[in-house]
Amino acid sequence: MWRRSASFILDKQQSDTVPPQRNPPHTLTLPSPPPLSMADTLQNPNPQNNISAYYQTRAAHHAVVTSDWLAQAQAAIGHDLDDAPETTVATVAGKPFSVIDEFNSWRKQPELAEAVAAIRALAAVIRNCQATTMMELEIELKKASDSLKLWDTTSISLTAGCDLFMRYVTRTSALEYEDFNSAKSRLIERAEKFGEISYKARRIIAMLSQDFIFDGCTILVHGFSRVVLEVLKTAAQSKKLFRVFCTEGRPDRTGLRLSNELAKLDVPVKLLIDSAVAYTMDEVDMVFVGADGVVESGGIINMMGTFQIALVAHNMNKPVYVAAESYKFARLYPLDQKDMVPALRPIDFGVPIPSKVEVETSARDYTPPQYLTLLFTDLGVLTPSVVSDELIQLYL
């Protein structure tokens, strides 16, 4: 459903791609690639497209999520995740290797972004690869990347992170080296470097944003964003005096977690119900939000409610700042709110809902670039109009 750029379409014509699946079956089947020398366990904890795996991860990491919420999420999935089918292709050095297992082991760290976990897993693929030629290595790396993207087809940062990794790592030419082992060592070096750059991105963004946070300001934040938390944490450690308004972030109440973290830092914080944004906007000096993805237009895709907050802020002449790592830059071009792959989450209203009542379960919305002021990224402080140029540089 995404409108993609011409450059993306050309890339797809030049390489094998996995056909999109609107409703993935219980067993994910990839197109038959050439024989591989590496195991690839395709365990998708989201075999039905009823709930995004991204929000399953948030539920696992956010202590504020209630047991009822988790029970409803499990019911939406339809069966035990441990029963997911497992496909083993081969072994590496006598030991089974699975890029999904490697990814999940990194993903268990709450402070590690999903895209960074994927980058770490792909680096492990290169280290454990038993290929003897560059072509075989690239085939195995491509298949591992496709497997990770299929793990959650609704995750923009996961897909963008895998694509950027492939571009960055394989940009070097094997012809520069006399033998395959030297070329492979160079690939491992580039993979590790890319992983370190991605891991440090949050800290870089926090440092770049400090000049925009002044003493006595009031900042409105929406939901829970680890990079926004790092921005506010750095400002608090710099002894800046400011207060924060946190939206509740229904239905998973991620704003509660952010307010708890800020309270630990002794930052004055006020918790708002989501519908009180316009009511309190006249007290706000700036809005800070994170992003699930930054698209080619310079707009962002983020937690549901971001668009309406940006609309209110724009109407009242309040700046809207976005904090997002460069691995969330995606070559996507949504034209409206419905022009994106749905990421669903369960909704609990606390009372029974009649079966004839339709409930909107979309988890995110699209905020056009004209309602955003600046984007703080590890590439620098960007205006929305510069995003397309940065994407071209990233994917060249």
Question: Which pLDDT value is given to residue 51?
Answer: 52
Distances (CA, A) of 318 to 284, 294, 302, 374: 8, 21, 19, 12
**Secondary structure letter of residue 370 according to DSSP:** G
pLDDT band with cut points at 50, 70 and 90 for residue 5? very low
* Among 392, 341, 394, 389, residue whose Cα is nearest residue 363: 341
CA distances (Å), origin 94, targets 36, 105, 184, 217, 356: 15, 20, 21, 59, 56
Instruction: Write down the pLDDT at residue 351.
Output: 80
Check residue 50 and give its pLDDT.
52
- State the number of CA atoms in the 13 A half-sphere of 80 facing the CB: 2
Q: How confident is the model at residue 234 (pLDDT cuts 50, 70, 90)?
A: very high
Q: What is the mean pLDDT of residues 31-53?
A: 43
Predicted confidence at residue 221, as pLDDT, reads 95
- Answer whether 394's CB lies under 8 Å from 167's CB: yes
Task: Give the pLDDT of residue 267.
Answer: 93
Q: Residue 92 pLDDT > 60, yes or no?
A: no
Mean pLDDT of 18-43: 41
pLDDT in tens, 177-221: 567 777 778 778 877 888 788 788 889 999 999 999 999 999 999
Convert the pLDDT of each residue in 132-169 to its tens digit. Answer: 887 888 888 888 989 888 888 788 888 888 888 888 77
**Looking at the predicted structure, is the pLDDT value of residue 347 above 80?**
no
- Cis ω for the linkage preceding 85 (within 30 of 0): no
Residues of the chain with pLDDT > 90: what percent?
A: 29
pTM for the complete prediction?
0.70
Task: Summarize pLDDT for 277-299 with one digit per residue, the tens.
Answer: 999 999 999 999 999 889 988 99
Residue with tokens 């990194």: 106
Mean pLDDT of the chain: 76
pLDDT for 112 beyond 70:
yes
| 393 vs 216, more confident | 216
- Kindly give the pairing relationship between strand 364-367 and strand 374-377: unpaired
Q: What is the pLDDT of residue 65?
A: 44
- pLDDT higher for 302 or 51? 302
Strand partners, 92: 95
